[in-house]
A and B are shown apart, each in its own frame.
Chain A
Amino acid sequence: MAQVLVVDDSATVRNEVGDFLKKNGLDVVTAVDGRDGLDKLKADARIKLVVSDVNMPNMDGLTMAEKIRGELRNSTVNIIMLTTENTPIMKERGKAAGIKGWIVKPFKGEAVIATFKKLAEA
């Protein structure tokens, strides 16, 4: 089963997104911040898609994305940011970090599930 890593410091978001993805046939792992996200990604080679918040304590989502591409040298996992941030500067930083896409919260699963599935099964 395709594996998705949901990274957010809010349990509300982890539950909402995770439950929706599970209902749609995806296997979900969660992390509470960027540091935890890196650890979970290192530990599970099946993860194909990372859905991450930007603003988190300990390590933010864009720094995590940069480290996924840099320190972990993982160029294949797809990374989507799910965040309240909506500025061009943030998005440019995300693009430079090699992220695949950007969603401004709140999460609307039906609008994105088809693409999520393609990215998780790629």
Chain B
Amino acid sequence: MQEAAQLVSKVLVLNDDAEVRGHIKAFCEAHHLIPVKPQAGAALSVLKSNVDLGAIFLQETYLGEGGNAVELALAIHAIRPELPIFLRRDTQSHLDDLPDVYRGVFTAAYTIATIDELGPMIAKSIFSFQFPNALVRGITEITKSTLENQFKDVEVRTEAPYMVRDRLIYGELFTLIPLESTWCRGYMMFQTEEAPLLAYVENGRTHITRDPANFRDINHVMGEVTNLIWGAFKNRFISDEPVDWRQSQVPLIVNHQHRYISFGSEDPQLCLRYTVLDPFGKVAPLVIYQRFVFNLSWAPEKFKENEVLTDNLFESGELELF
């Protein structure tokens, strides 16, 4: 396979023991994890506002939420069962002594002395998918360029791509489009909030001209963004080779009440976050999450970028006359 991209993942760290902070920080850095540390009493609200996590690290004696840490884990697991929870214990690096009802909540236990043994488990639960560097780099280039084209006079900030286990939907608007090739089958998804997107439309920073604009108008903005990126992705990464005709499909399930979407797979998803910024400061930043869910098929060893055909020298926007 081509060179793999070095991805990161955000993890919620619930720890109020100052003595071990350095150890946890070092472990996170070594394993490409970005710790998110809430203030005391804010764990659940931080969890609510971060819908793109890879795992949770919980101290068994954590008092941050004012109660029993294991009960806290039960509560977290009930609302975010996709997130692996790693329990840090004082002396035992196993879960055998915990009652069954609690044991099932945790992926593994560790002590500070044995924290490095979590490495393979982190790799398996969060970084089980290897993504070619060329793919990740290409996605970022295509998406940034498209956003700069579809929004007028903006700057687009990109962040390092990361792996996510969460299945929650950010914002009120999401688009979904299939991706099918010999090396991947699944979906590309965009998620964003309606209000900041509407603000860009109302301020004339898109190609939507209806005044006043409504939610259907902003649908068109994200629809075309999705379409352009999908097209560029196909042109760059998907060849004309036929895909196996025996194509499986699985239902996608959306629960609007819980803002939850399932693709039927427990595998982690590739996530990229973009922020559309107004350099004049008149319109609030617009955050857009892009996710790749290869729930049907994933064969990165077959991935390759399409060669630019020498007889296909027309750049986008130019007219090729027949």
Contact = CB atoms under 8 A, between A and B. Distances in A.
User: A and B: real partners?
Assistant: yes
Given A84-B227, A89-B240, A106 B321 contact: no
Contacts, number: 98
Given A11-B220, A84-B234, A105 B322 contact: no
A106 B316 contact: yes
Identify which of A13, A86, A103, A112 gathers the most chain B CB atoms within 10 Å of its CB.
Answer: A86
Given A86-B312, A105-B228, A106-B149, A16 B207 contact: yes
B209 A19 contact: yes
B61 interface: no
Interface stretch (A23-31, A35-43, A67-75, A94-102): A94-102
A58 interface: no
B140 interface: no
Given A105-B228, A108-B317, A84 B208 contact: no
A9 B221 CA distance: 11
Given A12-B221, A13-B207, A84 B320 contact: no
Interface string B206-244: 111110000001001101100110111011000010000
A103 B227 contact: no
A115 B321 contact: yes
B294 to A, nearest CB: 21
A83 to B, nearest CB: 7
Interface of B: 146, 149-150, 206-210, 217, 220-221, 223-224, 227-228, 230-232, 234-235, 240, 309, 312, 314-322
21 contacts: A9-B223, A10-B223, A10-B227, A12-B220, A12-B223, A12-B224, A55-B227, A84-B230, A84-B231, A87-B240, A88-B240, A89-B240, A101-B319, A103-B317, A103-B320, A105-B228, A105-B231, A106-B149, A106-B150, A112-B317, A115-B321
Interface of A: 9-13, 15-16, 19, 55, 80, 83-89, 91, 94-95, 99-108, 111-112, 115
